[in-house]
Amino acid sequence: MSVAAEPSMTGDETAEFPAPLEDPRPALRAMVHTVRMYVVRDIDEFRRFRGVIGNLVSQELHVRYQRSMLGFLWTLVNPALMMSTQALVFSRLFRGIGGMGPWEYAVFLFSGAMPWTFLASSLTECTTSLIHQEGLIRKIYVPKWIFPLARVLIQGITFSLSLVALFVMLWPLGAKVSSSLLGLPIAMALLGIFTMGLGLIAATVHTFFRDFGHFLGVGLQAWYFLTPIIYRSDFLPADERWKFWLNPAYPFVRLFQILIHESSWPPAWLFLLCGFIGCATFSAGYLVFKSQERKIVFRL
């Protein structure tokens, strides 16, 4: 196997520093080689550390919902209240957004706000995921990416549970059960990949610049209002609507809106677009993270 020289922590390992992988020559081949080594090693480490990832996820869920199921229900109350307030206010304020009544508007809002909440809270948690685990990182070897990954997984689980619960609440109000709901797992996976890519970047930047969290908070707020979640894209005149597609989060939100609110299957190109944006973002995040991973322990 060509990965023969690749080290492995709990088995035999030889590693040279500065890593010969990181050949500073600008040659494309050296870069490809480096990235390949990263990926091979991370796949191996994923297998070795999946127990740790599982533990991180279950310990967090356990701590959050330890007291009772009420813990989980409580996490639903917040978005449910927020959405019903918004549904009431906005359906009055912009009367007849695209001709939607308050209940239909609630379903529309719900279908876009849920994925957004997942994205925003994952990013917020990824930001501090590394410095919160300082104790661990400085005392024992762990691949650092398991921490942002665990945060995204935890948010993903919360996301799925709330999706189900809120859907049940909205059902009497006109949320339709249709075969298009079967597309939700695909949409969630695509959004998860996109989120993970951004989360890796957020975690890296925050480790080096500790005020990044503030910027992120403001940025997410602005991004939320720039994305057609509380309003529909026909808010803008027809010849300007293409601008929404410059927003990388919009295709994902749109995917959920079509699947839940419109109860129909999105066109294949939308899935492909989300897949493309997701993979590109993930690759970028992965590369940013890997280029800094070894320095993280020295900056905590």
Partner 1 sequence: MPTSNLQTNADAADSPARGDVRIDAREPKLHGPVVRHIAEFPAAGRSRDEAVVRLQNIGLKFTSYHDSHPSLKRALLNLVLRRSAPATNKTFWALQGIDLTIRQGERVALVGTNGAGKSTLLKVIARIYEPTVGRLTTRGRIAPMIEMGAGFHPELTGRRNIQLNGALMGMSRAEMTAREPAIWDWTGLAEFADLPLKYYSSGMFQRLAFAIATEVEPEILLVDESLNAGDASFVDKAKRRILDVFDKAKAVIVVSHDLGIVSELCTRTVWLDHGRIVADGPTPEILDRYVRAVTGG
Contact (CB, 8 A) for 265 and 183 = yes
128/124 Cα distance (integer angstroms): 7
Stretch that binds partner 1, among 53-61, 156-164, 165-173, 256-264 (CB under 8 A): 53-61
Residue of the chain from 27, 32, 39, 54 that contacts partner 1 (CB under 8 A): 54
Cis peptide, bond prior to residue 18, ω within 30 of zero: yes
Residues 110-149 that bind partner 1 (CB under 8 A): 135-142
User: At which residue do the structure tokens 């049940």 appear?
Assistant: 168
SS3 label, residue 26: coil
With binding defined as CB under 8 A, does residue 14 bind partner 1?
Answer: yes
Selected binder of partner 1 within 38, 215, 223, 235 (CB under 8 A): 215
* 297 touching partner 1, by CB under 8 A: yes
| Residue 221 to residue 240: CA distance in whole angstroms | 22
6 binds partner 1, rule: CB under 8 A: yes
In this complex, which beta carbon is closest to partner 1, that of residue 49 or of residue 145? Answer: 49
Contacts with partner 1, 25-44, as mask; x by CB under 8 A: ---------------x---x
224 Cβ neighbours under 8 A, 6+ residues apart: 116, 120
Shortest gap between Cβ of 47 and partner 1 (angstroms)? 6
User: C-beta of 171: minimal distance to partner 1 in Å?
Assistant: 29
Choice between 53 and 170, CB closer to partner 1 = 53
Looking up tokens 């993979």 gives 279
3-state secondary structure of 285: helix
User: From CA 293, how far away is CA 287, in angstroms rounded?
Assistant: 10
Among 24, 25, 66, 237, binds partner 1 (CB under 8 A): 66
Number of residues lying near partner 1 (CB under 8 A): 50
Residue 148: CB minimum distance to partner 1, A: 17
Quick one: which of 205, 220, 226, 288 contacts partner 1 (CB under 8 A)? 205
**Residue 73 region, left (φ>0) first, then alpha (ψ -120 to 50), else beta?**
alpha
By C-beta, is 94 or 223 nearer to partner 1?
Answer: 223
What burial letters (b/e) apply to 199-232, b meaning 16+ CB within 10 Å? bbbbbbbbbeeeebeeebeeeeeebbeebbbbbb
CA-to-CA distance for 95 and 83, rounded, in angstroms?
17
- Considering beta carbons, is residue 54 or 101 the nearer one to partner 1? 54
Residues in contact with partner 1 by the rule CB under 8 A: 1, 3-18, 40, 44, 47-52, 54-55, 59, 62-63, 66, 135-142, 205, 208-212, 215, 294, 297-299
